[in-house]
Structure 1
């Protein structure tokens, strides 16, 4: 039988993979995907805790929906910025993003 521990372990592994992708990758699109993976790991936590611990309320599901909305907005803004920078620099490498330097 699958328990809350299994879900929390899966979420921890996904969050760890997301942290690794965030710290190790230099491609801006890969970094955005790593952030999405971390947000989905948080969603798994919300749903698992709502399912196994707080049974009578839908607080975890509402929080997961809010995280999904924030993730969609983050992707829209992030991809727009990446496309705008790509048009100028012809690269999506994070080391090339020095637009704010004097």
Structure 2
């Protein structure tokens, strides 16, 4: 059972990473980052459930990752909204507002 869960997490990570590399749209890139975070969460939960101890380390790490992912989504979407208001587009390959 552990192998199936890890393969699902690895597949989700791979799809998210491929989408992040090939994405030109900022919202799609943020969604791919969220998919990567969820794949890591699946692996933490799978390892935590596979060992027979009463500690909840995988679940606790997953809660921290969910909090970081929520903050990343809020900040990323706010940056995308500001760039859209200024430029009218949110394509990653066509803006360089964050450069000096």
TM-score greater than 0.5 by the shorter chain? yes
- Counterpart in the other structure of 2:39: 41
Aligned counterparts of 1:56 and 1:93: Cα–Cα separation in 2: 47
- Counterpart in the other structure of 1:92: 90
Alpha-carbon RMSD across the aligned residues, in angstroms, is 1.1
Number of residue-to-residue matches in the alignment: 100
Aligned counterparts of 1:88 and 1:35: Cα–Cα separation in 2: 24
Query: What aligned pairs does 1:45-56 form with structure 2 within 5 A after superposition?
Result: 45-53=43-51, 55-56=53-54
Q: Does 1:4 align with 2:2?
A: yes
- Cα deviation, 1:69-91, whole Å, max 9, x if unaligned, reads 00000000000000000001100
Flag structure 2 segments of 5+ consecutive residues without an equivalent: none
TM-score (norm 2): 0.95
Shift of 1:11: 0.2
Aligned counterparts of 2:58 and 2:52: Cα–Cα separation in 1: 8
Shift of 1:101: 3.8
- Counterpart in the other structure of 2:11: 13
